Structure 1
Amino acid sequence: MNLNPIMLAAGAEILRIYATDFAVVSKSDASPVTAADEAAEAVILKGLSELAPEIPVVAEEEAAAGRIPQIANRFFLVDPLDGTKEFISKNGEFTVNIALVENGIPVAGAVYAPALNKIYWGATGEGAFMADVTDGVIGDAHPIRVRPVAGALTAIGSRSHGGAETEAYLTQFNVAEFKPAGSSLKFCLIAAGEADIYPRMGRTMEWDTAAGDAVLRAAGGRVETLDGRPLAYGKRNQAGDSDFANPHFVAFGDPAIAAGQA
């Protein structure tokens, strides 16, 4: 399933608005939203309805408006603009995200950073890839893979959502460097062998993580809750939390790190 044409179309809409003096409003949860979020989501929903009309789509802005379809074992998760704070600050570290979930597992996903001209994608059994994007055209695909642990680790974390809990978690590892990054790029940088571990101790939703999770898993990494279980998708009727909300999690490159062998 080739999601990349839809990614490029959504990215073009985002960049069109990025170049303007756009307005920012707050949603009911106080998170920011712009016209770019809404325009990109409209493009994605149209594209997915043409690509796979039989598969329901859970999308961030639709969910915020209370429009969530009935889902079964197979559905799409969409974040049309992950890293809205990065979009607003114009640092380029925002992404378009689409993932296909089957039986609670993100089996395929794509992440596009239109301002950085980078696209990443991957699928179970097919591997993970990245490519440069020039004038809206994807260049040569390069396979990516998590790197094996060799000495000290490079940790990566949120540019906008850090904290003491993350720092405390990382003390159990031999971390030599910490890189801040925005949006789902953190998963992709681990998948590409540019970092080793990403702990997230703040609140996220499934559409924030599914596409990057899919790319990372396809590249040989893993994403786990703090009790060592794979991060699951399609979470409904959760005690004490809303539908599709994630628990705290950690993304690992080399599986030896998660197994405590590094």
Structure 2
Amino acid sequence: MVFDEALRQGLIDAALAAGREIMAIYATEFAVASKGDASPVTEADQRAEAIILERLAVLMPGVPVVAEEQVAAGQVPEALGELFVLVDPLDGTKEFVSRNGEFTVNIGVVQHGRPVAGVVAAPALGEIFEGVVGQGARAARIVDGKAVDWRPIAVRAEPETGIVVLASRSHAGEDTETLLGKCRVATRVAAGSSLKFCRLAEGQADLYPRLGRTMEWDTAAGDAVLTAAGGTVVRADGKPFVYGKRDQADTADFANPWFLASGGYDVGALVVGDGAATDVKSE
């Protein structure tokens, strides 16, 4: 698929529109419910997803969309084909509920099993990231619900003084600590949602190890931005990290295995285990 400026802008506009809806609800005393897996969901998740789906139907007609809240409601495309879209309308609902601002809107386009384009918007932080593999990545500020001052972004080379590692606020366990023992770590930074991919993409950090389960809609957009910026995402066992996973023997459809995301840092020495998914809840 050709990602011309019109298509890229359409995906950006969809994420920004969802972000504006989320922020309108963020300013209220919103209610929090629980889904079947006990993860939180709010009206913001549902309304943002509806906006994105409406826009995608016009922007990419006929292309299957796998969206988090639709999947939770049992609405999954029967067949994905070689091209499909993964949507997480509010990645980091826990961050949204706790009002720390580190939640994102994720739209990722997957072709032949790998993300080829993605948009990650962080409306509460006033940041948006966008990338197309082979065409580069960029970031902008969000001002009054619109993206301004776009700038190109790229990963950085491994610092001589040690790497900056991004770890989830509540998901770093014994396996992660063992892995990080193999690295020369200068700083560890806690961060939420798909922003971790974007911090790698813009050269603010070097490694994001995720030794626990996530879902494909959590990672596709950030994966695309990072890859477009020159970074990499691989399974924790070193194998390619792919999308469109269904009928998995040991876990749910669209569940991810463990992975290592990096900027200019070589993760070759960090390969662990079999990269299997676990029953740890996604972010």
The TM-score by the shorter chain falls in which range? Answer: over 0.9
- Output aligned runs, 1:14-93, within 5 Å: 14-69=22-77, 70-93=79-102
AA of the residue aligned to 1:20: T
In the other structure, the counterpart of 1:202 is 212
Q: Which residue of 2 aligns with 1:240?
A: 250
Cα deviation code 1:15-43 (max 9, x no counterpart): 01101111111110110000000000000
Unpaired runs of at least 5, structure 2: 1-6, 271-283
Question: How far is 1:257 from its partner?
Answer: 1.5
- Which of 263, 266, 274 in structure 2 is aligned with 1:257? 266
Alignment-derived partner of residue 237 in structure 2: 227
Find the counterpart in structure 2 of residue 118 from structure 1.
127
CA–CA distance in structure 1, aligned partners of residues 206 and 106 of structure 2:
21
Please report the TM-score for the alignment, with normalisation by the length of structure 1. Answer: 0.97
Q: Confirm or deny: 8 A CA contact 2:245 2:253 kept in the other structure.
A: yes
Q: CA RMSD in A?
A: 1.1
Output one character per residue of 1:97-134: Cα deviation in whole Å (capped at 9) or x when no partner.
00000000000000000000000000111100000011
Any idea what SS the aligned residue of 2:149 has? coil
Q: Report what 2:136 is aligned to.
A: 127
- Does the aligned pair in 2 maintain the 1:94–1:183 contact within 8 Å? yes
Equivalent position amino acid for 1:253 in 2: G
Equivalent-residue separation in structure 2 for 1:189 and 1:25 (angstroms)? 30
1:222, 1:230 within 8 Å by CA — same for their partners in 2? Answer: no
* Counterpart Cα distance in 1 of 2:244 and 2:252: 12
In the aligned structure 2, how far is the partner of 1:211 from the partner of 1:74? 14
Q: Counterparts of 1:224 and 1:71 in 2: how far apart (Å)?
A: 22
Other structure's SS at 1:112 match: strand
Distance 1:137 1:73 in 2: 32
Q: Secondary structure at the match of 2:89?
A: strand
Q: Which range moved further: 225-234 or 99-108?
A: 225-234
Q: Percent identity?
A: 57
Q: TM-score of the superposition, structure 2-length normalised?
A: 0.90
> 1:85·1:160 contact (CA, 8 Å) conserved in 2?
no
Give, in whole Å, the separation in 2 of the partners of 1:118 and 1:230: 29
The aligned length equals 260
Write out per-residue CA displacement over residues 190-213 of structure 1, whole angstroms, 9 at most, x where no aligned residue.
Answer: 000000000011210000000000
Q: Which amino acid aligns with 1:95?
A: T
- Give the conservation status (yes or no) of the 8 Å contact 1:158–1:180: yes
- Unaligned 5+ runs, structure 1: none
* Mapped partners of 2:259, 2:198: distance in 1: 16
1:97 paired to 2:106: yes
